[in-house]
Amino acid sequence: MTARRPTGEGKASDTLPDATVRPTAVPAGRGPASVLVEIPVKDDPHLPTTVASLVGQSRRPDRVLVVATPETPEALLEEARRRAAGLPFEVLRVPGYVVEARQAAIPHVTEEITVFLDSDNAGPANWLELLVAPVEKGADYSGGPTRPSRPPENWVERYIALLERSIYEELVPGRLVYLPLQNTAWRSSVVRGLGFDIRIPGAEDHDLESRAAAAGYQGVFVPEAWVSHDKSSVTDFFAWARRRYRAYLLPMAMSLLKNGELRGRLGERRRLVRHPLAWVEELVKPLALLHAWGRWARLGGSASPPPSGG
């Protein structure tokens, strides 16, 4: 297994619990740590396939927790339960955004390691074993990449595939604050101590990882611990654009403001993905930043006004 330990920078939040007590590795001879796989879902038809991929793992999870919105069809959850094929399977209904679901799930976690998996991911048989190994050996969290489940069939899918490849090959190996939360394993004590900031309606991965870095926690990137990512349901450009703005561009700008990383991010010179939608995002980002600054200020955040230019 090739594990990389990137560095990270950020400021600790004064609005959430501080997590400065460093956990230790699982004691030798005690056996493997207990593992929970947590899957947030709204109405994703891929959920049963995701759950089924956990059954054949060489390292089986001790429990699967599906955190579902009230709108999630009961029939979808029952099919996922059936596909769990005997794995301990529970459903927690939580209203609101994904970040609110993650925060609400924390009191229900008793396992030592929490694995975050999206409802459109599926891992090969050795995925979970590879993913949790660094945490069992002493890392505070670990993460792996995603791969398209099939060749892209439209231009939005093509952009998503190119963007995720760029993230995992060019950004994450240098700084783990770029690591999407899907396909990550965390010491549950770290997640419990840091928590999720429900004031920001998305980008919870960047906020959590920025605060983890500021608190001195160490993460490991495991390229071999990949999962497939099925974006076959993404066909409408306008629906994708609305979701991209609300779930990523706006909350990411809020997280950058909150964690004091805006100036550093604006100073980065990143190579754009070669796709027209990359330029669309670049044009929208200043609007998202202004929107985020106003929203964060109304929430009582300590963000300074966005810098002019650049």
Is residue 24 in some structural domain? no
Is residue 14 in some structural domain? no
pLDDT in tens, the chain (310 residues): 444 444 443 333 333 333 333 444 454 445 789 999 999 998 899 999 999 999 999 999 999 999 999 999 999 999 999 999 989 999 999 998 899 999 999 999 999 999 999 999 999 999 999 999 999 999 999 999 999 988 888 888 899 999 999 999 999 998 899 999 999 999 999 999 999 999 999 999 999 999 999 999 999 999 999 999 997 777 788 888 998 999 999 999 999 999 999 888 877 778 889 999 999 999 999 999 999 999 999 988 754 444 433 3
Is residue 20 in some structural domain? no
Q: Specify whether the CB–CB gap between 83 and 58 falls below 8 A.
A: no
Is residue 221 in some structural domain? yes
Full-model pTM? 0.87
Is residue 306 in some structural domain? no
Domain encompassing residue 49: 35-298
pLDDT number for residue 199: 93
Is residue 53 in some structural domain? yes
Count other Cβ atoms within 10 Å, centred on residue 239.
Answer: 12
The per-residue b/e assignment along 256-293, b for 16 or more CB within 10 angstroms, e otherwise, is bbbbbbbeeeeeeeeeebebebeeebeebeeebbebbb
DSSP H helix total and E strand total for the chain: 11, 10
Domains of the chain: total: 1
pLDDT number for residue 237: 86
Amino acid at the residue 164: E
- CATH classification at residue 107: 3.90.550.10
Q: Is the dihedral of CA 187, 191, 192, 194 positive or negative?
A: positive
Q: Specify whether the CB–CB gap between 258 and 197 falls below 8 A.
A: yes
Which residues sit opposite 304 in a β-bridge? none
Is residue 152 in some structural domain? yes
Is residue 21 in some structural domain? no
